[in-house]
Structure 1
Amino acid sequence: MKAAVGIDIGGTKIAIGLVREDGMVLREMEFPTNVDSGPDQALNKMVQHIRSMYSVEPNIIGIGIGSPGPLDTREGKILSPPNLQTWHGYPLVKKIESAFQTKVKLMNDADAAAFAEYYYSHRSGYNHMMYVTVSTGIGGGLILNGKLYEGALSGAGEIGHMSMESCGPICGCGKMGCLESFSSGTGMMNAWKQKLTRLQQPIDPNWTGKDLFEQAASGEMTAAEVVMNGVDYLARGISQAVQLLNPELVVLGGGVILAQPTFYKQIVQRVPSYLLEHHRRNLTFSIAEQGRNAGFKGAAAIIHAENY
């Protein structure tokens, strides 16, 4: 059975998997991105790990790469992702092609995760699917008429950068009031710390998103307010996208969603209150099934499907 390599590039870590066309992961590995060290050091590690995969399957049919956008997928360049500041303009596809002389496809990381959910989770019964990932940031991917829809410049589905408030928090992209600045893991942590600072309450520098949700669940008012605010903004953002695109299925994934099932349930309960009855009809929600491997599995799946 054929196998392809999938790479999932993030601001914190890079994950690589060797994936069969039936979705079985034959080998996987990950390492820190170390953004401050620049892209060449990460490329060297990618090449090293991919070479080790050729010992498992010498006939790899191609390499798919999922990366935060914006991207120039025609030229195979990573343009200016907020979380990859030192990678701006980096010609990653040419670098990988020159190392392995095989076909290489660059795509948005949320598109890759969306395609993994569609391709491997037996969702082909849905012709119109929207995928939303909530993690360090917020991203989205679209399946329209049964095909991955990337848009003119592979920028479709950027739900995280929908403007929710004209004078909201500054997002990592530089704009003010993006959905990501309110409802991502990073956005909610920033809001929590800012509220605690204003209230002159102590802040533990080691706190993580897990601590935020635990304190919210315990009834700590500041944390609970931040989480519910995140729920409301995310529900509003999803509802706006639903009313624009009218999908049959909304799949929610990403680290925050998968780690916090109550957060997922609250979002699903809240979205319908912002929808017209027509758009509520036949709309189904699902939690992502591909887990933490969705990024590299989707990047590999796009090679298997030759959906480009």
Structure 2
Amino acid sequence: MRESKRGKTRGGLRIQPENVPSGCFTRKTLLDTIRRNGRASRTQLAELTGLTFMAVKRNMEELLDLGLIREDGTEPSSVGRKSVLYAVNESFACTAGIYINMYETRAAVMDLGGTILYSKRMAMDQPCNQAELIDRVIRLAQETLEESGQPRERILGVGIGVPGPVDPGRGLVLSPPNLTCLQYVPLRGIVEQALGLPAFLQKDANVIALGELRHGAARGHADMMYIYADVGIGGGLVLNGSLYLGLNAGAGEIGHITLDQDGPVCNCASTGCVEAIASGLAVTRRYNREKGCSASIEDVLQAAAQNDTCAVMCLNDSARTLGIAVGSLINLLDLPVIVIGGLLAERYEPYLALVRQSATEKKLKGYRSNRILPSALANNAGVIGAGELVADHFFKTGVLELFQSGAAS
């Protein structure tokens, strides 16, 4: 094993990339390529980056000395010497994640490979006001950090996933229809001040998309979309390996595509949106109207499991409607992978198959290889993806500061 020369520099890494020596960007390019491909040999890195083999070798030595990468087996070969493969050193540092939805809040500490080292959850089953909820979330995060056993200087920061819409630039939760007590809360700043760590905020579907991209159903792909089929319907879009936010940081809102101009009024004030027709809330409203009752979405799902004809019809129609939108999405972006999660997809077994069937009927006939997959990370997708917000920041800018800081000396 090679002795690491890394210093104690960890949390709060910040960088202004002006005047950064070119060698730092070379090492960053190699590190990004390894991270994107999982692992690679020096020969493969030269081919993938266009760098000379000697440049790769020299800069890989620096990355090894810093402890940012590690040897990870050898490349299969029938002739000659086997090439050593290199991977990101997951134990170099840790990230923290907080994921909040209407059912629960989860907090976790992870390594750079997305493996959860310690986590805690808090059910959202007690009524509370804004101040009480924020206090509970902060307390959960503090307990998670303290009980994880990881020194605070090893934790690079904390990512936060919360029901949207959000303003990531200002760290502000805007007006989430399913968690109204967090309206216009500057959550990023509150978390930073309470935990003493840099924080990063994104809407829930975006962090889940990152989790599934890096460590779940869409691993190995650069382009994908995650669709959240739950009480509401949302989405997170990834293009070229990064979240695509759009001009207003709202990209991916498949739930607000209009399918029926004369359809029901949506929470967004438009009519006939996918969410207004196919969400868990829409399913529940329709079921209650048909049955003359006041059931919850949990009640409807349980009724469907007992072959209640009305519940089955409402859920089947929801899946088919979402499938129409997914088919249109495939026609628009030709994404290789679309991952579907959330309560409806996870609790109603026929849901995904019906989405696939409906999407297949609507997508162009030449589009045969696009895959519609279930979530692979289930309840941990959000908190793992929140940690990826921190990891992304570190690999984008933090490593440049590390290269310049003299930590390798």
Structures share fold, TM-score greater than 0.5: yes
CA contact (8 A) 2:284 2:295 kept: no
**CA shift in 2, pair 1:97/1:164, >3 Å:** same
The alignment's TM-score, normalised by the length of structure 1, stands at 0.89
Structure 2 residue runs of 5 or longer lacking an equivalent are: 1-90, 397-409
Counterpart residue number, 1:9: 100
Deviation at 1:69, TM superposition (A): 1.3
Counterpart residue number, 2:143: 52
Cα distance in 2 between the residues matched to 1:184 and 1:65: 24
Cα distance in 2 between the residues matched to 1:237 and 1:116: 23
Q: Is 2:190 the counterpart of 1:95? A: yes
Cα distance in 2 between the residues matched to 1:203 and 1:28: 35
Q: Structure 2 matches for 1:1-308, cutoff 5 A?
A: 1=91, 2-33=93-124, 37-55=128-146, 56=148, 57-58=150-151, 59-121=154-216, 123-197=218-292, 208-215=299-306, 218=307, 220-278=308-366, 280-306=367-393
Structure 1 residue runs of 5 or longer lacking an equivalent are: none
The superposition leaves residues 143-192 of structure 1 with CA deviations (integer Å, 9 ceiling, x where unpaired) of 11222212222211011122222232333334332211222222211111
The superposition leaves residues 81-110 of structure 1 with CA deviations (integer Å, 9 ceiling, x where unpaired) of 111222221111111111122211000110
Cα distance in 2 between the residues matched to 1:51 and 1:210: 35
Deviation at 1:236, TM superposition (A): 0.8
Cα distance in 2 between the residues matched to 1:135 and 1:70: 16
Deviation at 1:66, TM superposition (A): 0.7
Cα distance in 2 between the residues matched to 1:227 and 1:34: 25
Q: Secondary structure at the match of 2:250?
A: coil
- The Cα RMSD (Å) is 2.2
**CA shift in 2, pair 1:90/1:108, >3 Å:** same
Q: Secondary structure at the match of 1:81?
A: coil
CA contact (8 A) 2:283 2:297 kept: no
The alignment's TM-score, normalised by the length of structure 2, stands at 0.68
Deviation at 1:121, TM superposition (A): 2.4
Count residues with an aligned counterpart: 300
- Amino acid in the other structure paired with 2:272: G
Cα distance in 2 between the residues matched to 1:92 and 1:33: 18
Q: Secondary structure at the match of 2:247?
A: coil
Q: Which has the higher contact order (CA 8 A, sep 6+)?
A: 1
Q: Secondary structure at the match of 1:271?
A: helix
The superposition leaves residues 35-56 of structure 1 with CA deviations (integer Å, 9 ceiling, x where unpaired) of 9633221221222222223332
Q: Secondary structure at the match of 2:228?
A: strand
Indicate the percent of aligned positions where both proteins have the same amino acid: 26
Deviation at 1:34, TM superposition (A): 6.5
Deviation at 1:257, TM superposition (A): 1.0
CA contact (8 A) 2:237 2:243 kept: yes
CA contact (8 A) 1:114 1:143 kept: yes
